[in-house]
Amino acid sequence: MVQKLYVTYNDVHKLCQEAAPKLLEEVNPQLMIAIGGGGYVPARILRSFLKRPGSANIPIQAIGLSLYEQLSTSTDADVEEPGTKVTRTQWLDLSALGEMGSLVGKRILIVDEVDDTRTTLEYAVKELEKDVELARAKFGGEAAKFSVFVLHNKDKQKKGTLPKEMTDSGRYVAARTVGDEWICYPWEATDIDEHDRNAAAQKTKE
């Protein structure tokens, strides 16, 4: 039986609020890039807590990466297993950014819901760094500084890696580190009332 961790919208809101001071201190992002679909909600919530008085809202861009594949042999329709290949389903909206050169020299925060095998995060960081470096070769300027925020980091052997300079300098932030269990996020629920009941029942057992 797969162990499940039910996370509510309130949980997500509070995790973002809790992580915001560290992100402001260590990252101070000028742009967020949400990995869809799990990064959309935390990125939007974070924006409220990262906004400094008198400053504009931090822009949010989105990329789509697919790694999970439905288990055809599982009796649990909600549970998927990590795939082995990252598929790019959506990339940066250059019409909104102007062009890739606008990312040169920026402090960019990549947001996702969970760091599972780290394969998706590794792909996102490497591909975004590659694109910005190509733009820097064309336009000049300083290198962009990428950081990562996730709601949950699973304490398990990772298949992907992140730059050592990122992890050593506080530019990788996980709101919580949990065991290797299936995390049920509210935006995946088809019945949000049942989801919240499961989350409440889970909390009473803790």
Give the tens place of pLDDT for each residue, 81-109.
555 678 888 888 766 666 666 788 999 99
DSSP the chain: ---EEE--HHHHHHHHHHHHHHHHHHT--SEEEEEETTTHHHHHHHHHHHPPTTSPPPPEEEEEEEEEEE-SS-S-TT-EEEEEEEEEEE---HHHHSSGGGGTT-EEEEEEEEESSSHHHHHHHHHHHHHHHHHHHHH--PPPEEEEEEEEEE-S--SS---HHHHHTT-EEEEEEE-S-EEE-GGG-SSHHHHHHHHHHHHHH-
Q: How confident is the model at residue 72 (pLDDT cuts 50, 70, 90)?
A: very low
Least confident of 31-35, 127-131, 160-164: 127-131
Pairing verdict, β 60-70 and 80-90: antiparallel
* Residues 12, 18, 21, 23, CA torsion sign: negative
Report pLDDT for 171: 96
Q: Does the pLDDT of residue 71 top 60, yes or no?
A: no
Q: How confident is the model at residue 1 (pLDDT cuts 50, 70, 90)?
A: low
Higher confidence at residue 200 or residue 37?
200
Among the listed residues 11, 112, 115, 116, the single catalytic one is 116
Instruction: Give me the residues paired with residue 35 across strands.
Output: 63
* Residues 141, 170, 66, 193, CA torsion sign: negative
Report pLDDT for 87: 83
Give the tens place of pLDDT for each residue, 169-198.
999 999 999 999 999 999 999 999 999 999
Give the tens place of pLDDT for each residue, 126-154.
999 988 888 888 878 888 999 999 999 99
Q: How confident is the model at residue 77 (pLDDT cuts 50, 70, 90)?
A: low
Contacts of 1 (CB under 8 A, 6+ apart): none
Report pLDDT for 128: 92
Average pLDDT, the chain: 89
| CA atoms of 21 and 77, how far apart (whole Å) | 38
Share of the chain above pLDDT 70, in %: 87
Check if the beta carbon of residue 62 is closer than 8 Å to that of residue 34: yes
Q: What is the mean pLDDT of residues 11-26?
A: 97
Residue 196 falls in the annotated catalytic set: no
Report pLDDT for 10: 98
